[in-house]
Structure 1
Amino acid sequence: MREIRTIRISQINIAMESPHSPERYIELFRQAKSIRTPIILRGDEAAILGPMDFKTYKKSGDYISGDIYKFLNIDETAQWFNTIKNEPATEEETSNINIPSELRPNLKIIEFVFHPHNHKLFFINKDRKNTLSPQFAEKFFQQLFDLACEKGKFPAVTVTAIPERESIEEIFSIPTLKKIEITLARPNPDDFEAQERKFLKKLEKQNAKRIETALIALPGKSLEPDEETRLLAQVAASNGKVIGYGLDNQGKRIEESTKDKPMDTPYTVNSGVELSSDVLLRVSRGRIN
């Protein structure tokens, strides 16, 4: 039966410090796949990297399609609750509970596509009951790659959830901009135009891992960021974070952050024509070609 539904797609940037190449990113994912320790997202929620396929598309080159498995990593030794009696379960009631140690409940399957040549990963953050927020996707891959880098001797990797395109402009549009904080982790040298690469060169020249800078307005004034500050913020949006503080038109304090507005775009899936994975791949190709 044909079904038309809406899925939501987000994007994260995976930036490896030099030396790096598309092949090196593929090796990173292979190393990450070998890690079977669940990554704790929040409370009992955990995730692990599922199966992956390494493919080639004639226009976009190599890419990886795969799944993230999210589940409840329950503590079998914790106290149980009897919902009928509305009270803690007794030892007698729990004595017959036998959950195999390899089984975990409430599985959610999150599909993703990764393009090694521009190190961008697209994933479905919501499809029916399968959900994974961009913030938790960022946390998952950052911790996973930290383990992979340690195990496989890779250069450091920084994972950033890509914000909505208008998020930077919203910061600069704060009526009275009192303070702006910019954190830029090392971007890849092939990410940007020549003018933008100077930030990477500045970091490399000083053996620096990242730039952390803040502009604070004079009393009674509003910041007027110049082109270099705007450019730095634009690069940092996909390789770090930008936070703006100020006042709205009514004098009320306001805070805007790129971390609070990750890319979250709805797309329609017609099950009679295509799969959600087809839509995901098409969207990811359209964003990189």
Structure 2
Amino acid sequence: MATGRRIKFSVLNVVAQPHPPGIYRSVFERAAGVGVKFWGDQYVALSPISSSRNGVFTGRIAVWTQVDKNSDVIKLDEFEQLALRDSEVSLPNNIGLNSRIFEYAFNESKHLMYVEQQNEDKKYLSPKRAELAVHRILGQLNFTDVEEVRVQIVPEADSVERVLSVPRLKRVEMRVFRPNPDELDDQANALLDELQEQGIQRTDIALAKAPGVDTIVLNARNKLLAKIAAFNGYVRSFGRTEGGKTIEASTKDHAKVVSVEADPDKSTIAQARYVAGE
């Protein structure tokens, strides 16, 4: 029976270099249970993961407010401030406040993470916050079997076209990380070979409009670089309206969202697993 409610998932690209079989499961197993500060006084952690089925495992992201026990509290009725340790408030060490939990599923072969945007309690985790949370968690781990683990938002398929379509395009910036070679077509692999031959892991490209030209028009090579950058870095553009106002656009602002109708007979995690396995 249709519920009318839809479940939306942000999509994150998690890239390990190198990426031998089983590396993504290993990375997330090591990341489980490690609480990390990631936004203001908010902390985040990943749960232990499930077993893999058809190349997909699942888990949960917990976000909470961590109380600093050396901080002060205020009695609102008396407008009196005092040290937390001198107040009547006592919190066990394993308690976080204002908590919310979001389900996720991870496709190992595609190294894509599908993160619930709004849980059943109507708490929200935006694509950018999800990206930052997972980046902070994985970034504080010490890996000996991989050189790099990188996390980024997967943009919409037309994100490059939308970013480059700003009027009077005067500047284009691209950050390109070396992608996994099995993701690319022959043309893109040729560009990847150039990076590898020079020992380059990341390249930053800035294209500025020449004087007397109305707008930048990218050639085929730079369009291909932009396509790679959108999924392995970012593309940012700057244009100008007729009134002279600067317009800025980025592929990070066009996050891919997968939306499915909620099935009352299935849990959110089961539906996340289905989405990730498609």
Q: Which residue of 2 aligns with 1:201?
A: 193
In the TM superposition, what are the counterparts of 1:102-141 in structure 2 within 5 Å?
102-127=94-119, 128-141=121-134
1:8/1:83 CA distance change after superposition, 3 Å: farther
Q: Percent identity, aligned pairs only?
A: 26
Q: Which residue of 1 aligns with 2:51?
A: 54
Shift of 1:21: 2.5
Asked if residue 22 in structure 1 is aligned to residue 21 in structure 2, the reply is yes
Shift of 1:173: 0.8
Shift of 1:170: 1.2
In the TM superposition, what whole-angstrom CA distance separates every residue of 1:30-77 from its partner, at most 9, and x where no partner exists?
2222xx4422121111101113102222xxxx2111111111112122
1:197/1:270 CA distance change after superposition, 3 Å: same
Asked if residue 43 in structure 1 is aligned to residue 36 in structure 2, the reply is no
Shift of 1:172: 1.4
Q: Which residue of 2 aligns with 1:63?
A: 56
**Secondary structure at 1:196 match in 2:** helix
For 1:227, which of 220, 225, 234 is the aligned residue?
A: 220
For 2:237, which of 233, 244, 248 is the aligned residue?
A: 244
- For 1:54 and 1:78, locate their aligned partners in 2 and report how far apart those are by CA, in whole Å: 41
Shift of 1:145: 2.0
Asked if residue 11 in structure 1 is aligned to residue 3 in structure 2, the reply is no
- For 2:200 and 2:177, locate their aligned partners in 1 and report how far apart those are by CA, in whole Å: 9
- For 1:206 and 1:91, locate their aligned partners in 2 and report how far apart those are by CA, in whole Å: 57
**Secondary structure at 2:207 match in 1:** strand
- For 2:251 and 2:80, locate their aligned partners in 1 and report how far apart those are by CA, in whole Å: 43
Shift of 1:101: 1.3
- For 1:242 and 1:88, locate their aligned partners in 2 and report how far apart those are by CA, in whole Å: 51
- For 1:174 and 1:43, locate their aligned partners in 2 and report how far apart those are by CA, in whole Å: 33
- For 1:170 and 1:160, locate their aligned partners in 2 and report how far apart those are by CA, in whole Å: 19
Q: Which residue of 1 aligns with 2:248?
A: 255
For 2:151, which of 130, 150, 159 is the aligned residue?
A: 159
Q: Is the 8 A contact 1:4 1:270 kept in 2?
A: no
- For 2:82 and 2:137, locate their aligned partners in 1 and report how far apart those are by CA, in whole Å: 38
**Secondary structure at 1:284 match in 2:** helix
Letter in 2 for 1:43: G
**Secondary structure at 2:262 match in 1:** strand
Q: Is the 8 A contact 1:39 1:47 kept in 2?
A: yes
- For 2:157 and 2:143, locate their aligned partners in 1 and report how far apart those are by CA, in whole Å: 35
Letter in 2 for 1:215: L
Q: TM-score, normalised by structure 1?
A: 0.87
Shift of 1:4: 4.3
In the TM superposition, what whole-angstrom CA distance separates every residue of 1:123-165 from its partner, at most 9, and x where no partner exists?
11212433222212222222222233x2444221111111222
Q: Which residue of 1 aligns with 2:262?
A: 269
Q: Which moved more, 1:198-207 or 1:208-217?
A: 198-207
In the TM superposition, what whole-angstrom CA distance separates every residue of 1:50-108 from its partner, at most 9, and x where no partner exists?
13102222xxxx211111111111212211123334x2434599532111111111221
Letter in 1 for 2:253: D
Q: TM-score, normalised by structure 2?
A: 0.91
- For 2:50 and 2:85, locate their aligned partners in 1 and report how far apart those are by CA, in whole Å: 45
Q: Is the 8 A contact 2:5 2:262 kept in 1?
A: yes
Alignment: residue pair count:
276
1:142/1:102 CA distance change after superposition, 3 Å: same
Q: Is the 8 A contact 1:179 1:245 kept in 2?
A: yes
In the TM superposition, what are the counterparts of 1:174-185 in structure 2 within 5 Å?
174-185=166-177
Letter in 2 for 1:15: V
